[in-house]
Chain A
Amino acid sequence: MSAVRRSPVRGAAPFIIGIGLLWLAVIVLLPLGMVFAEAFRKGVEGFLKAFDEPDAWAAVRLTLLVAAISVPLNALFGLAAAWCVTRYEFRGKALLTTLIDLPFSISPVISGLVWVLLFGSAGWFAPLLDALGIRIIFTVTGLVLATILVTLPFVARELIPLMQQQGADEELAAVTLGAGPWAIFSKITLPNVRWALLYGVLLCNARAMGEFGAVSVVSGHIRGLTNTLPLHVEILYNEYDFVGAFATATVLAGLALITLLIKSLLEWRFADELAATRRH
């Protein structure tokens, strides 16, 4: 590819670039800048005050905990699903692939709602849970369930196209050379998909930590107990503690920027090893 792509509408270049960049600046960059501007509206001191609260730290810990449970589970699921879908021929494969992608087209609120329908006080399993003395809704378990559902496809959809494209020949070659199941997975498959796996985990994690709608439905907003960072932002905002809300939001914005940075680095460095369909 030449450095400068030819365009049929050559004279229009500055015009198109200008409008495109202006649009991106207004729609995307302005809100990002606003987060930081509002967070420091009352100076560094006002900014830091938001982190004096124990509730803020409880929210950070809870967010990390929820991600630490749901992301590895979805990574494991992604590996199993990709292996199963790309290495075997069986009926119903198309249906399975469709199901895996399904959570992307479900509203986050619905992803929370379904758990309430099952485990809420008037849910299907409410009598059973009452009898056992277990609570799921308004607890960390509920947050984890909602987060798993929302982020379920992230790793699988990175691995499936890549493993499809790589084909099974290397694993079959390993079989003829006498490799057992574990050797095939750990020496051939895993090294071949490691960067795509990391990429998927990265995106999965960003969504898990930033999820709002689904966890908002199952959380009950109990301060210090079931408030993740995004929910903490909402509470502060609704209490008109704008500086506090935006200061907390900078943590999440920082997370987003770091995610984008690592994502771009992975894309530049390992373009070949990430799936051709990596772009959303």
Chain B
Amino acid sequence: MPLTIKNLSKSFRGFTALRNVDLEVGDGEFLALLGPSGSGKTTLLRIMAGLEQPEAGSVTFDGEDFLAQTPRERRVGLVFQHYALFRHMTVADNIAFGLNVRPGKDRPSKSAIRERVAELLRLVQLEDLGKRYPAQLSGGQRQRVALARALAIQPRLLLLDEPFGALDAKVRRELRRWLRHIHDETGVTTVFVTHDQEEALDLADRVAILKDGHIEQVDTPLDLYQHPSSAFVHDFLGGAVHLPAKVQDGVLTVDGWTTDAPEDAPAGGVILAVRGEDLILSEQGITASIVTLSPRGPRTRIGIEIEGQALDLERPAHDPLSKLSVGQTVRVRPDLIHLFKS
């Protein structure tokens, strides 16, 4: 594994930002750091970039001790959340900056730099905008300039902090696909931070989920979805309700309804986590009341309440759930069961 992080800890003024974080990122991998705000994901990214120093732990890259190196020696490309483009420089000068500030002997010739800039402008599809200033660009264009600037130094590792955070929904979706395309083309190992689970699952090879400064789980999107390791991960990847339940002698009891418990289920008091999309209308099951029903063409959005917890589901118009009416109380059962220790 080229990037290996071990036992990393960091605090700011008594506030613990990261606690005993372990993480490995593979060569050419596209990894997402996903978590709510304050979970430490940006701090972790900034430590990789060399902008913050941890109090404890190690960060190595291809066997080199990253923490002993300056940001310059690390050769890491970082795209800032608000891009941090140099406001008084043209787009071309922004992209060329990392090459221009190299010490004399390592600096490419002027014409080589020009060529490299033109190449990068093509890559990010901004061929004609090299002479513009950042203030004259749209949000999506700025984002692409920031990426080109980070790529100019041929980074060994590309880091992106909330790359789509400041963009509107439509541009966001376009850029997302495009970023994946750039990654596949350049093959550079990439880590990006996001709080948007859809973005992380859609884009990344693997997703690391952070909570309160430590990593809850690292897995492929599919594994995370199917085998969440904690109620938090389960909840974070799509709205869910958590119900107190009991497992005894291989039987799960919840809200007066009993069913066979999964084989690996812990015994005693547990939490049953249920996602909206796993619910089926049934004779036997958990009590749910219909709070809202809004048909939207082919699909219907249904708001239900289970034990005081609200849950939104979406069903095709012909689904039995879509044909209920507001105020009705029904029984539902999950066809996929996740149990966590309470």
Contact = CB atoms under 8 A, between A and B. Distances in A.
Task: Let me know if chains A and B touch directly in the complex, using CB atoms closer than 8 Å.
Answer: yes
Contact of A173 (B72, B78, B102): B78
A176 B151 CA distance: 11
B36 interface: no
B244 to A, nearest CB: 44
A17 to B, nearest CB: 36
B285 interface: no
B101 A183 contact: yes
Contacts of A172: 51, 80, 84
Contacts of B50: 175-176
Nearest to B155: A176
Interface residues of A, number: 16
A187 interface: yes
Given A176-B50, A178-B101, A180-B101, A192 B88 contact: yes
Contacts of B150: 176-177
A191 interface: yes
Main SS at interface, chain A: helix
Nearest to B76: A176
B82 A169 contact: yes
Given A172-B51, A176-B49, A178-B102, A192 B87 contact: yes
Nearest to B50: A176
Contacts of A183: 101
Interface string B47-69: 00111000000000000000000
Given A169-B80, A169-B82, A172-B51, A177 B88 contact: no
Contacts of B97: 174, 177, 179, 187
Nearest to A172: B51
Interface in A146-200: 169-170, 172-180, 183, 187-188, 191-192
Contact of B71 (A175, A187, A191, A192): A175
Given A177-B98, A178-B102, A170 B86 contact: yes
A191 B152 CA distance: 22
A183 B153 CA distance: 16
Nearest to A188: B86
B53 to A, nearest CB: 13
Given A173-B78, A173-B80, A178 B86 contact: no
Given A172-B51, A173-B78, A178 B98 contact: yes
B51 A177 contact: no
A54 to B, nearest CB: 47
Given A169-B80, A183-B101, A187-B101, A177 B153 contact: yes
Nearest to A272: B135
B113 to A, nearest CB: 13
B3 to A, nearest CB: 16
Nearest to A173: B84
B279 to A, nearest CB: 45
Contacts of A174: 86, 97, 101
Contacts, number: 59
Contact of B78 (A170, A176, A180, A192): A176
B248 to A, nearest CB: 55
A169 B102 contact: no
A183 B107 CA distance: 14
Interface in B20-55: 49-51
B77 A176 contact: yes
Nearest to B79: A173
Interface string B150-168: 1011000000000000000
B144 interface: no
B149 interface: yes
A178 B84 CA distance: 15
A170 B97 CA distance: 12
Contacts of A169: 80, 82, 84
A176 B71 contact: yes
A177 B99 CA distance: 8
A170 B80 CA distance: 9
A188 B85 CA distance: 10
Contacts of A187: 86, 97, 101
A176 B102 contact: no
Contacts of B76: 176
Nearest to B97: A177
A183 B71 CA distance: 15
A32 to B, nearest CB: 37
Nearest to B75: A178
Contacts of B72: 175, 178-180
B71 A178 contact: yes
A93 B49 CA distance: 27
A178 B50 CA distance: 11
A170 B86 CA distance: 6
Q: Which of A173, A187, A192 has the most CB of B within 10 A?
A: A173
Which are the 9 A-B pairs with shortest beta-carbon distances? A177-B98, A169-B84, A178-B72, A173-B84, A179-B101, A176-B78, A191-B88, A183-B101, A176-B71
Given A175-B71, A191-B88, 15 more contacts: A169-B82, A170-B84, A172-B84, A173-B78, A174-B86, A174-B97, A176-B50, A176-B71, A177-B149, A178-B75, A178-B153, A187-B101, A188-B86, A192-B87, A192-B88
Interface of A: 169-170, 172-180, 183, 187-188, 191-192
5 contacts: A173-B80, A175-B50, A176-B51, A177-B98, A192-B88
